[in-house]
Amino acid sequence: MDILGQTIRKEGFLALYKGMASPLIGIAGVNSLLFAAYSVSKRIVSPYPDLSIPQIAAAGAMAGAVNSVLASPVEMFKVRMQAQYGLPGDKRLRHVVSDMWTHWGFRKGFMRGFWVTVAREIPGYAGFYGGYEFAKRSFSKTYGKELPFWALLTSGSCGGICYWLACYPLDVVKSRVQQADHPPKGLDYITQEMRVVLRQSGWKGLFRGLGTSLVRSVPAAGATFAAFEVTRGWLVEHTNL
């Protein structure tokens, strides 16, 4: 709440949407890849349609690894836009994109933090899909297979909460790596950055901002899963897909 008040006071209400352009442009592709990879992963995990929760989590982990290909650059530009503090030298998204390409190129610029993004997405999406299916099946015991819309929203929110609980320290490391002035060095940069956080802030540093992410995940993940289920139901009913 303190950061919310400071942001509005210093930069205005629209500053709360800083960095939105990157995920807004990329989210359709990211979610399309994620759900398509999840569908394929379920068939790889088991040829049978009724998967157990551990099998669902395994398929989610596989989908998360694939999703990192698009999620990494989208997250990187979002983080760098949000790290600006309303000063005269703040840059628009197109300038941030141009600077990263000019100074660092594709691998160290656009894909900076790729491996820590992979490390985050694997446990994160295991929890995301596992938590969603667990909640959805729990509601199905009472309401049957055709769940009311609010139950889909609630199940999705459970998946979002499980996502952050499964991977949040890695998200802290990812944000620090992507926000840094220079790309990380060495293959063990994840453990290096984690040691820096522990040395500077202790264990609490690895969970700083977790409450905000959990609050965010309730409407965001709820809407994502509900929209997916409604869209899939419409496609099944009205098309031959």
Res. 191 pLDDT band, cuts 50 70 90: very high
Largest pairwise CA distance in the chain: 58
| C-alpha dist (Å) from residue 220 to 39, 70, 109, 111, 176 | 21, 19, 28, 25, 23
* Lowest-confidence pick of 34-43, 92-101, 113-122: 92-101
Q: What is the pLDDT of residues 193-237, one digit of tens each?
A: 999 999 999 999 999 999 999 999 999 999 999 999 989 889 988
Is the pLDDT score of 186 beyond 90? no
Is the pLDDT score of 150 beyond 80? yes
- Cα angle 78, 38, 22; round to 5: 15
CATH homologous superfamily of 2-238: Mitochondrial carrier domain (1.50.40.10)
* Annotated domain spans of the chain: 2-238
Q: What is the pLDDT of residues 68-100, one digit of tens each?
A: 999 999 899 989 888 877 666 778 888 888 989
Count of C-beta atoms within a 10 Å radius of residue 17: 10
- Report whether 149 contacts 96 (CB < 8 A): no
b/e map 165-184, b = 16+ CB within 10 Å: bbbbbbbbbbbbbbeeeebb
Q: CA–CA separation, 28 vs 2, rounded Å? A: 32
DSSP code per residue over 105-151: HIIIIITTTHHHHHHHHHHHHHHHHHHHHHHHHHHHHHH-SS--HHH
pLDDT score at 90: 78
pLDDT score at 13: 87
Is the pLDDT score of 119 beyond 80? yes
Name the 3-class secondary structure at 202. Answer: coil
Q: CA–CA separation, 88 vs 224, rounded Å? A: 36
pLDDT score at 3: 83
Crossing angle between the packed helical segments 189-201 and 149-179, to the nearest 10 degrees: 90
Average pLDDT over all residues of the chain: 91
Is the pLDDT score of 1 beyond 90? no
b/e map 190-224, b = 16+ CB within 10 Å: beebbeebeeeeeeebbeeebeebbeebbeebbeb
Q: CA nearest 162: which of 214, 121, 229, 226?
A: 214
pLDDT score at 87: 64
Q: Please report, as a single letter, which amino acid is at residue 30.
A: V
